[in-house]
Structure 1
Amino acid sequence: MLSTETIMTFFSVSVLLGLAPGPDNIFVLTQSALRGKGPGLIVMLGLCTGLIAHTIAVSLGVAIIFQTSILAFSVLKLLGAAYLVYLAWQAFRASAETIQGGPEGIVSYRKLYARGIIMNITNPKVSIFFLAFLPQFTEPTKGPVAVQLVLLGGLFILATILVFGGIALLAGTLGGLLKRSDRTQNILNKIAGTVFMGLALKLATIRQ
């Protein structure tokens, strides 16, 4: 079992990492501002589900594949970039009425949850980050390393839920106020589309 000091240190660092601007928290921010607190929280849960997959991958050693295989790394990042371009296209073509709940704009919680998962698991940098970050806090003398990695992954996910949940609630509240104006709503759509395109470009150009 990990020591209390290690757990507290790891959790504190994880919270700080969650606050640092990155694709995932920006995704939560934009979706919450556009669709509200509830949808933002669902997207956050999807992202955290993706983190579960990354935790398992690191524990089983699968993440090493993305660290050592240029092909696997490139394919996954391009799939993620393509998905972000698709989301950008949807945001650019959306009208104020669509986002506010028109027939073309109704997005189920299931789809929002899936978006969060896809957004997270198609970023190979997350697996590589976990592979580099989690083992630094393991204590081989305290038990099986694989079990410790799963525990650390769970702590990281808990920190992510707290941080991203706060972002979703704040952005959802502010977005709700801004969406009272159709003009402001259309501006939010264009900002979201631009952000998604920027994230797609960043993901497509990252290196191992």
Structure 2
Amino acid sequence: MTSLGIQHFDAFLLACIALNLTPGLDTFYILTRSGREGRAVGVAAALGINAGCIVHTLAAVLGISAILMTSAIAFSVLKYLGAAYLVWIGLRMLLARGTARQPTVTRGKGLVAAFRQGMLTNVLNPKVALFFLAFLPQFVSMQAGHPQLGLLVLGLSFIGTGTLWSMVLALLGGHIHHLLHTRPRLGQGMDRVCGMVLVGFGFRLALQRQP
């Protein structure tokens, strides 16, 4: 770790765990997908989200994320794309006529759609990109021989802890799925609530200002 310039790795892991446990869009999305479509779909959604984190890690290592910090246009474009995507998913849940046996979000596309949507909701969120850009360098000395490798190791460590917690959420959502499978009206109500929440997340992202 020393050769990579990584400092206070134990404190970094504790911070990762605390951040992963904090509820947010990712938590809500995984619980929604696994609750409505089963544990396997929830796992696919979780893997998609963490695949998006890999993209953000590489962007931070290569310095691409710094563009979002300095370019108002780049930040706005990514922000509005992400917001529009969240609103679109939310509206599909609100408007579709789903049942416990016909989930409204993927309409039969299952694992692939869950992975793709999870990844896109993460990649298109400039707040996540800026988080990686601001958080990781705090634990790496830029005077080290290979600081970029240090950033990569920290990013993958964060993703590792996040993936473990995501799997827990997918399993929890699987239990919710069994409940909703026997109560179609409850499932339809969940679709409406989740749709409104996703639309709300979208508008909240659209109002986000560049740091």
Please indicate the TM-score interval, normalised by the length of the shorter structure: over 0.9
Offset of residue 203 of structure 1: 0.8
Q: RMSD of the TM alignment (CA)?
A: 2.0
The answer on whether the counterparts of 2:33 and 2:114 sit within 8 Å (CA) in structure 1 is: no
**Matches of 1:75 and 1:9 in 2, distance apart?**
34
Q: Which among 136, 148, 163 is matched to residue 161 of structure 1?
A: 163
Structure 1 residues 102 and 165, CA gap change in structure 2 (3 angstroms): closer
Moved over 4 A (4+): 2-5
> Percent identity among equivalent residues?
36
1:102-142 Cα deviation digits (max 9, x unpaired): 79821231121111110000001111111110000113465
Amino acid corresponding to residue 8 of structure 1 in structure 2: D
**Partner of residue 110, structure 1:** 112
Mapped partners of 1:143, 1:27: distance in 2: 39
- CA deviations 1:37-76 (Å, max 9, x no partner) are 1101101100111111100110011111001111110110
Unpaired stretches in structure 2, ≥5 consecutive residues: none
Distance in 1, matches of 2:43 and 2:8, equals 29
TM-score by length of 2: 0.91
Match of 1:207 in 2: 209
Q: Number of aligned pairs?
A: 207
Structure 1 length as normaliser, TM-score? Answer: 0.92
Number of the residue aligned with 1:195: 197
d(CA) in 2 for partners of 1:60, 1:74: 21
Secondary structure in structure 1 of the residue aligned to 2:8: helix
**Partners in 2 of 1:142 and 1:65 — Cα distance?**
23
Q: Which structure 1 residue ranges, 5 or more long, are not aligned?
A: none
1:65 partnered with 2:67: yes
Quote the offset at 1:179 in angstroms.
Answer: 3.0
In structure 2, distance between residues paired with 1:179 and 1:108: 16
